[in-house]
Structure 1
Amino acid sequence: MPVGPFTLADVEREARARLPSEVWDFIQGGSGSERTLAANAAQFGRYALRPRTLVDVSACDTGLDLLGSALELPVGVAPMAYHRLADDEGETATARAAGRAGALLVAGIFASRTLEEIAAAATGPLWLQLYWLRRRDALAALVERAEAAGYRALVLTVDAPRVGRRLRDARNGFAVPAGIRAVNLDPGLMAASHRSAAGASGIESHAREQFDPALSWSDLAWLRERSSLPLVLKGILTAEDARLAAEHGVAAVVVSNHGGRQLDGALPSLAALPEVVGALPPEIPALFDGGVRTGADVAVALALGARAVLVGRPVLWGLAAGGEAGVDAVLGLLRSELEDAMALLGRPALRDLDRTTLAPWPGVPAGHRPDR
């Protein structure tokens, strides 16, 4: 990469220049008109920051404990499929960079490196994300492998009974290239994701074939019987579901609309965050993803009650722009920007970032995000 990068937008531009257009669309796109995708980022523009002065900010502490793991950064890597689309090292490069940053890595069920390879590369905590497959034997085998390899939590994505209508992929007839596979699952189970057809998405076809849309709250017991790992639910956007999650004994939730890739028109994640946090008991943390592009965005999400945030697309931008060093750059930028924000806010510890940190941005219409 050239001198810098100075912002994640710099990394994004470099990644776009390097990636094939259909891969870029797969990474970048949302569902439908991409209304929710755009709103995730725009929602941060509704908030102004309220700095306090004459506070000792000679040391800003970005460390925290999350489900028993000590982290140096309240920013983790969200679960995403096929990191090797962006760089040949794929998830192993991401794992090494996340470990150096002291950040959580949530490996995806459709990772393009084995669970064991990712674990061997990692020096920080790992969680494993799952979709609810019709093949429960495949799920059970993954859970067993993850626990044996040292993963510390299971993250069940609950907002995908089917894949949303992702028009960029359909227009491109996108399918996963033959040389890249979800190596932790039987090739026969993944075959549809590799089938390209005009006007159709191989990703959507695979999900309709393999995802079980009958998943309900009662099914969580089956998963818990097979593992002692903490269970995290990803895709919670309402107080009703937050309360049900607590009743069903989950360890944490992720407030997420799947990066705008599922229900177009769904609440922006940041708009849903206070509602979800308010419905959870204090011992169940809410994580957050959706539209984070600066360290100040991280501060806003933490001030609204998130314990930590997860970032997705920017990590793949970093991989595409510079491999492992590119992911280092992305996580390093977010850390330095967060530390800057904490110092200039007069809030040197994460616990100091509360609702008094924020005010409505004066005169900004709903959905507008000031230029950064």
Structure 2
Amino acid sequence: MSRLAPLNEIPADLVSARDYERYALERLDGNALAYLQGGAGDELTCQANLQAWQEWALLPRMLRDLRGGHTRCQLLGDSLQHPIVLAPIAYQHLFHAEGERASALAAGVMGGAAVLSSFASTRLEEVAEVAQGPLWFQLYWQGSGPATLALAQRAEAAGYRALVLTVDAPVSGVRNREQRAGFRLPPDIRAVNLEQAVQLLPLPEGGSAVFNGLMAVAPGWQDVAWLCQHSRLPVLLKGILHVEDARLAVEAGAAGVIVSNHGGRVLDSQWPALRSLASIRAELGAGVPVLVDGGIRRGSDVFKALALGADAVLIGRPYAHALATAGALGVAHLLRLLREELEVTMALCGCRDLSGISGEMVQRL
């Protein structure tokens, strides 16, 4: 699976998320890289996600008393040391032998939270056993309410603290990079938490595999409301870009939303998530948790997200790069780097804590 073995210590030149990407490119084979690095279509959304953070500049305030500053936050009832959450990434055994166990361990050790994918290559109970911090479980709709709730209840029984219902991928994206590479899962890697595939309806003659197949069993707003009513865990909806959908999510009972375009992996030419953040925050008000992901590579990006209305952010590819490079040690080190970058940005912008970060401290270029 790997061209170079994962590291057992962190070299001196590994000082940023971009460095971890450079190291990961040396260690992962073409199959794993096609899956991790690729996006949908021409990967325009992947590029736009990265560019969006560069469209905002910082406007610091000077000479403030910042003694006792920190990055602590409260999220869904849990106290975290920083607002950086590990996003759900499937099949992490593609990147390291310890896979999801290593990622969850690192998140907890560094005082943060992690989201386990429905398509994890490690049983959710095994991940919970090693976790030292809050875990959330990502759900895809399983074709029916009872099947979806059963998976959610299994996560609840294992100690997961929230559900993340991903709503922006009822159909897989057209990932040309994976197609060109002939991507296939190795025989020893599979989605071990999904007992059976979602049962599709028989296609009528001449019917579309998309509209008469996958979309016929995709959830609607009534299904979201049903899940929120029957789950004892708070439900976040991931994949929201439109203000109206954010409003409908809360009306359906969601505890909050994750503003996201799935890292550019589903629909190409999508609007960057960052550009929807401020309007969704304005629509939902201050009391509803709003998170954002997509293209975050620096602690200053985290600062910008908080300034534009996010309560926390999720990172994806960067921690997969760190996992491939040095396992749990790499993920923990990456989180430390991002937190330190956030602290420096806060100090230089005049913010003692996260509540001091405001929209007045960023300006669109």
The TM-score normalised by the length of structure 2 is: 0.91
Q: Distance in 1 between matches of 2:153 and 2:250?
A: 25
Q: Distance in 2 between matches of 1:292 and 1:60?
A: 23
Instruction: Tell me which residue corresponds to 1:62.
Output: 71
> Residues 260-339 of structure 1 correspond to what in structure 2 (within 5 A)?
260-339=264-343
Which AA in structure 1 matches 2:34? D
Equivalent residue of 1:189, what SS? Answer: coil
Instruction: Tell me which residue corresponds to 2:43.
Output: 34
Structure 1: 4+ residue segments shifted above 3 A: 135-138, 208-214
Identify which of 332, 341, 351 aligns with 1:347.
Answer: 351
Instruction: Tell me which residue corresponds to 1:158.
Output: 167
Equivalent residue of 2:185, what SS? Answer: coil
Identify which of 228, 232, 237 aligns with 1:233.
Answer: 237
Identify which of 24, 27, 39 aligns with 1:15.
Answer: 24
Q: 1:219 to 1:138 in 2, by over 3 A?
A: closer
**Kept in 1: contact 2:40–2:173 (CA 8 A):** yes
Instruction: Tell me which residue corresponds to 2:360.
Output: 356
Give a deviation string over 1:220-262, Cα, whole Å, max 9, x none. 2332344211010000001110111121121010000000111
Give 5+ residue unaligned stretches, structure 1. Answer: 191-204, 362-372
Give a deviation string over 1:309-350, Cα, whole Å, max 9, x none. 000001110110001111011111100100010011111110
> Residues 38-117 of structure 1 correspond to what in structure 2 (within 5 A)?
38-117=47-126
**Kept in 1: contact 2:225–2:253 (CA 8 A):** no
Instruction: Tell me which residue corresponds to 1:144.
Output: 153
The number of residue pairs the alignment matches comes to 346
Q: Distance in 2 between matches of 1:210 and 1:65?
A: 37
Q: 1:209 to 1:106 in 2, by over 3 A?
A: farther
RMSD of Structure 2 on Structure 1 (CA):
1.9
Give a deviation string over 1:63-96, Cα, whole Å, max 9, x none. 1111111111100000110111110111111111
Instruction: Tell me which residue corresponds to 2:252.
Output: 248
Which AA in structure 2 matches 1:72? Q
Q: Distance in 1 between matches of 2:277 and 2:44?
A: 18
Q: CA deviation at 1:28?
A: 0.9
**Kept in 2: contact 1:134–1:211 (CA 8 A):** no
Q: 1:12 to 1:212 in 2, by over 3 A?
A: farther
Q: CA deviation at 1:171?
A: 1.3
Give 5+ residue unaligned stretches, structure 2. Answer: 1-9, 199-208
Q: CA deviation at 1:59?
A: 3.3
**Kept in 2: contact 1:95–1:105 (CA 8 A):** yes
> Residues 186-225 of structure 1 correspond to what in structure 2 (within 5 A)?
186=195, 188-189=196-197, 213-225=217-229
Q: Distance in 1 between matches of 2:34 and 2:216?
A: 26
Which AA in structure 2 matches 1:313? R
Q: CA deviation at 1:281?
A: 3.1
**Kept in 2: contact 1:132–1:212 (CA 8 A):** no
Which AA in structure 2 matches 1:232? L
